[in-house]
């Protein structure tokens, strides 16, 4: 997801991810994955605030990116008993999320 600089801080990212999570929930998915560059602190912070949690899965950044780098998979639980979106994280020990298709731990 890319948000043009003039639209950052307006809540557009939050609304887009809310809509995606709602659609995925209605379609019966239990998790939503978000790939983000490890050096993009703003995007990682956004995902954490939304309720995504980091995983051990990494991959090289897309070839279209000018700078080489790495992406991390972050996961959001869509299960009914999961914390509400944007809620304070539950620091109790959580089970390892299911592995997304075709991913390798980094």
| pLDDT, greater one: 16 or 100 | 16
Mean pLDDT of 68-85: 82
Residue 9: exposure state from Cβ atoms within 10 A (0-12, 13-18, ≥19): exposed
Give residue limits of the domains in the chain. 30-83
Q: Is the pLDDT of residue 95 over 70?
A: no
pLDDT band (50, 70, 90) for residue 63: low
Q: Is the pLDDT of residue 88 over 80?
A: no
Q: Which two tokens stand for residue 74?
A: 């972050």
Q: Is the pLDDT of residue 55 over 90?
A: yes
Distance CA(43)–CA(41), nearest Å, equals 6
| pLDDT, greater one: 69 or 65 | 69
Q: Is the pLDDT of residue 7 over 70?
A: yes
% of the chain exceeding 90 in pLDDT? 55
Is residue 53 within 8 Å of 89, Cβ to Cβ? yes
Is residue 54 within 8 Å of 41, Cβ to Cβ? no
| pLDDT, greater one: 81 or 76 | 76
């Amino acid at each position: 997801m890319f948000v043009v600089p003039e639209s950052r801080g307006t809540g557009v990212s939050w609304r887009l991810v809310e809509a995606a999570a709602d659609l995925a929930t209605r379609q019966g998915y239990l998790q939503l994955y978000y790939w983000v560059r490890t050096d993009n602190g703003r995007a990682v912070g956004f995902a954490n605030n939304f309720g995504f949690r980091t995983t051990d899965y990494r991959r090289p950044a897309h070839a279209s990116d000018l700078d080489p780098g790495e992406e991390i998979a972050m996961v959001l639980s869509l299960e009914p008993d999961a914390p509400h979106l944007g809620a304070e994280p539950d620091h109790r020990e959580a089970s390892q999320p299911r592995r997304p298709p075709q991913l390798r731990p980094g």
